[in-house]
Structure 1
Amino acid sequence: MRFLQIHNYYRYRGGEDSMFEQICAVLRTHGHAVTTYTQRSTDVQGSGKKLKAALTGVHSPRSEREVRRMLRWDRPDIAHVHNLYPLISPSVLRACSDEGIPIVMRCPNYRLVCPTGVLLRNGKPCELCVGGHEYRCALVNCRGNLLESTAIAGRSFLVRAFGMISKSVTRFIAPSQCVKQRLVQAGIDSERIDVVPNMVPLPAVTVDPSHGEYVAFAGRLSAEKGLETLLDAARLIPHVPVRIAGNGELLDSLQNSAPSNVTFMGHLRSDKLASFYAKARLCVVPSIWLEAFGLVPAEAMAYGLPVVASRMGALPEIVDHDSTGYLFEPGSPEQLAASIEQLWSDPQRCRDMGLTGREKVKLEYSRDVYYTRLMRVYEHVLEATESAYTEIRRTVHSV
C-alpha cells in the first residue's frame, strides 16, 4: 500500500513527533511505500510570525498547494494526518478530499475539543471549551497572552463551525478510550473512531524490581504532573527513597520544598533512563491532568516495574489495579503513600506485578500489535471508500 503521512513537528520535540516517525518506520519495515509531508514549528519565531501562524492555521494556501501537487505526482491509497498546527492547517484535508484520497486522522491529544489541546488550565484539569465553547479559552486567557488565546480560540471555532476536519476525515484514531470519549463529546460519531493505543518498545532486558533501591518518577516537572502530591506523600514515608528524573519550570521550587528522602536527577537521556529504571523498585505517575495515553507508565511496565498511578485520563487503561500496580485518587498524598508503602514492603509482589505489566506491554503495545491494529483501520477505510464508490456508480447507472 502507499501512504502519505502528514505532520507538523512541534517546536520542542515530544512524544507525538516520535510516534509519527515510529509509524512511518513500522509501515516501511512491512514493505509499504511511505511519503511524508512535514513542516516544523521551529520556523515560527516572534509575535508577528506567531500571529501569522494562527491565521494560516485555519487555511494555508502553501500547504494545500504543495500537498495537492504531491497527491497528483504520487497518488497514495490513504492520507494519514497527525498534527496540523500551526503551519500545515486543515486545508490539506480539502486537497485530499478533492483528489479522492481517504483520510485517517490520529488524535494523540484533545485539540479537537480544546484550543490548547491539553484540557488543562493553571496546572489543573479544565473542560470549559468542550462542547463547542472555544470562546472561553479567550475569556479566561488560557495561554497567558490574550492575543494568542484569542487567536487559537478563533482558529478552533472556525475549524469546528465549518467542519473542516469533521467533514473531511474518514476515520479518527484515538490512543485511548479517554480521548475517544472527548471526541464523541465534540460531535464525532463514535463509529468513526478507532482506539489504537500507542506502541511501546520492549527493552531486551527485564529488571528485577524486588532488589530496587528507590521509587522512580520520570517526566516533565510541571504542575499537571502531580509532583506536589508526590512530595507530600514522600514526607509520610521518610524511610522510602524517591528519585525524580526530569526538568521543568517547577524544578527550583520543588527542590526547595522537597523532604530529605527525595533526590532530583535532572534530565536523563534514553540510555541513562534505562539504568534509572533498572535500579528502581516501582514507578509513580501522580498526574492530575487527563493523560491522553500514559507513555511513562507503559514504558516503566515494559522494563518490568510495577506502577502506582492516579485515576486520571487514560492511566487506568494502562495500569490494572492490583495486577500491574495500584491506582489512587489524584491529589491524595495519603493514598499515594499507602500504595507506595504496600509495594515497598513486599519485594516479591513488586516482582510479580512487574512481570505481569511487561507481559501486558508485549501483548497490547508492541510494534507488531500496533501495526496489526493500524492496518485494520486502513483496511476498514479502503473498504468503506470502495463501498461508497460502488454506491455512487450504481446511482449514476440507474439514472
Structure 2
Amino acid sequence: MKVLVIHTSYQYKGGEDTVVAEEIKLLQLQGIMVELLEFNNHKNAFLKLLQLPFNLQSYFKTKEALALFKPDIVHIHNLHFGGSPSVIYAIKRSKIPFVITLHNYRLLCPSGILFHNGKLFLDSLSNKFPWKAVGSGVYKNSKLITFWLSLSIYLHNKLGTWKICNRYIVLSEHAKKLFLSSNLGLSASQFVVKPNFCSDPILKNQQAQDYFLYVGRLSEEKGIMLLLSVFSSCPYKVKIAGDGPLKDEVVKYSSRFPNIEFLGILNKTEVFTILESCSALVFPSIWFEGMPLTIIEAFACGIPVISSRIGAMETMITPDYNGLHFEVQSKEGFRKKLDDWHNLSEVQKQEYRLNARKTYENYYTPDKNAQQLLAIYNDVMNEEKLLLAETL
C-alpha cells in the first residue's frame, strides 16, 4: 500500500504536526510506503490567504505529487490555508480515494476551536453563514479575515466540496456528533472515530511525589487562569510546563506563590519524566478539545487525570476509575476534586494509576492505532473498487 499524506504545517509546531509525524512513522513501521506533501504559511502568507478558496499552485503541486508517487490512498490532515480546498479537486481529478482527519472545527466555524472571548462560541453551527462570527472577528480578532475564511467555507459547502471526501476521521464521538448536527449536510457513513495515540514511554519506576502537573499551551481556552486562581488559594503544589500567550501570568503567579512552579518548555523525554513522578495531571480546559495528547501521555505513564467535564474529556476520563471530573470553569468544583484526590489513600491512588495504564493499553497504543488506521484505508479503497466495478 502507498499512502500520500498531505499537511499544511503550522508556524509554531503544535499537536497536529506531532500527530502527522507520528502517524507517518507508524505507517512506515507497518511496511507502508508513505510520502509527505507539505504546505506551509511561513512565506507569502497574505497571498496564500487570498488564494484560500482555490490555490492554483497547491492544485498543480498536488497533481504532480499524485502523478509521481501514484498512491493507493491520500490522507489529508490540514489544508488551512496554504493547501486550500484546491487539493481536494486535484485528488478527485486523479480519481484516488482519500480521507481527512478533522483535528479541529474549522469546517464548522472560522474560529476553528468553537471558542471566543473566554467562552464557547457555537453560533456558527446552526447558521447558513456565520455572520455573528464575522461580526465578532473570531479569527485573530479580524472581521475581514474572518469573513474571508467564512466565505471560503460557505462557497465550498455550496459546491459540495466537503461531500467529495470518502471518509472523515474524527477523534471522538463528541466531535462526530458536532459535525453531524451542523449545517454541512454530511452523512454519518462518512465519519469514523479514531483517537490519537502515543508511543509507549520508557518508564523509570519513579515514586509518585506530592505535586500536581499541568502540561500544555498557556492560553485562555486551556483554563490556565482558572488553574492559577485555584492553586493560588490552596496549599497543593502544582508544576506548570508549556508556553503560550499567558506565560507572563504564569510567571507572575509563580513568583508570588511558592506552591506554583513554572518549568517552561520541556522536551518529550522531560515531559514523561515529570509525568511519571507527579501525583496526578490537571487538565482544566474550557473548550471542545480534539483529543489531548497530554492526557494520553499521562495514561501511558499510569497517571490519573483531574479534568473539566467537556468534549472529548467526558469519555476519555472515567470518574472514580482513571481520574476525576469537575464542572467547566468551576473554581469550587476544581478545588473539591483536588481535595478528594488528596484525601484518597495510597492504595486507592494506586488503583487509579493501574486503571490509567489499562486505559492506555486498551485504546491509545501504536498497535491499536495502526490497526484502526489501516482498517479505515482498506474500507475506503474497497468501497472505491466496488463503485468502479459498478460503473464498468
Q: In the alignment, does 2:12 pair up with 1:12?
A: yes
Equivalent residue number for residue 325 of structure 2: 327
CA distance in 2, matches of 1:278, 1:32: 33
For residue 155 of structure 1, the aligned residue among 152, 155, 158 is 152
Does the 8 Å contact 1:103/1:168 carry over to 2? no
CA distance in 2, matches of 1:135, 1:53: 23
Q: In the alignment, does 2:347 pair up with 1:348?
A: yes
Q: In the alignment, does 2:132 pair up with 1:116?
A: no
| Unpaired stretches in structure 2, ≥5 consecutive residues | none
SS at match of 1:43: coil
Residue 70 of structure 1: how far off its partner (Å): 2.4
Compute the TM-score of the two structures, normalised by the length of structure 1. Answer: 0.92
Equivalent residue number for residue 194 of structure 1: 192
SS at match of 1:229: helix
> Number of residues paired by the alignment?
385
CA distance in 2, matches of 1:183, 1:220: 25
Does the 8 Å contact 2:197/2:296 carry over to 1? no
After TM superposition, the structure 1 = structure 2 runs for residues 225-264 of structure 1, keeping only pairs within 5 Å, are 225-238=222-235, 240-257=236-253, 259-264=257-262
SS at match of 1:389: helix
Residue 57 of structure 1: how far off its partner (Å): 1.7
CA distance in 2, matches of 1:249, 1:285: 18
After TM superposition, the structure 1 = structure 2 runs for residues 28-43 of structure 1, keeping only pairs within 5 Å, are 28-43=28-43
After TM superposition, the structure 1 = structure 2 runs for residues 120-139 of structure 1, keeping only pairs within 5 Å, are 120-131=115-126, 132-139=128-135
CA distance in 2, matches of 1:236, 1:356: 30
CA distance in 2, matches of 1:278, 1:314: 23
Compute the TM-score of the two structures, normalised by the length of structure 2. Answer: 0.93
Does the 8 Å contact 1:57/1:87 carry over to 2? yes
For residue 81 of structure 1, the aligned residue among 76, 87, 92 is 76
SS at match of 2:137: coil
SS at match of 1:42: coil
Does the 8 Å contact 1:104/1:171 carry over to 2? yes
| Unpaired stretches in structure 1, ≥5 consecutive residues | 394-399
Does the 8 Å contact 2:232/2:260 carry over to 1? no
Q: Percent identity?
A: 28
Equivalent residue number for residue 60 of structure 1: 55
Residue 283 of structure 1: how far off its partner (Å): 0.7
- Aligned residue type for 1:187: G
CA distance in 1, matches of 2:335, 2:168: 39
- Aligned residue type for 1:373: Q
CA deviations on 1:36-67 (whole Å, 9 max, x unpaired) are 211122224xxxx42x2222221111111121
- Aligned residue type for 2:37: Y
For residue 283 of structure 2, the aligned residue among 285, 309, 318 is 285
- Aligned residue type for 2:24: C
For residue 101 of structure 1, the aligned residue among 83, 96, 103 is 96
CA distance in 2, matches of 1:300, 1:358: 8
Supply the RMSD in Å over aligned alpha carbons. 1.7
- Aligned residue type for 1:5: V
Equivalent residue number for residue 396 of structure 1: none
SS at match of 1:305: coil
Does the 8 Å contact 1:324/1:353 carry over to 2? yes
